Amino acid sequence: MKYAKLEGKEDAQVEPQIEDKNQFALEMDAFSHSVLNNTPPRTPGEEGLKDQRIIEAIYESTRIGKPVTLKS
């Protein structure tokens, strides 16, 4: 991934260095911590449900060729 930014009057190409992490292992660790300590998870199930509804709306929009409005 690269992006450009203006430095003075010149465009500079920037390639950010992103640390390689196992996202799913970190999520499982955080969820396990919540269970063991009886605390709310950082990302509740409702967040995943919202994501799933958005994904389904994208598929529906592609299928019918029109924008799909989601209810709040």
CA 21 to chain centre: 15
**Can you tell me whether residue 42 is helix, strand or coil?**
coil
User: What tokens does 24 get?
Assistant: 């799913």
Tell me the average pLDDT across 16-24.
90
Query: What is the Cα–Cα distance from 53 to 47, expressed in whole angstroms?
Result: 10
More confident residue, 56 or 45: 56
Query: What is the Cα–Cα distance from 14 to 20, expressed in whole angstroms?
Result: 18
Check if the beta carbon of residue 11 is closer than 8 Å to that of residue 4.
yes
pTM above 0.75, yes or no: no
Per-residue pLDDT at 72 exceeds 80: no
Per-residue pLDDT at 44 exceeds 90: no
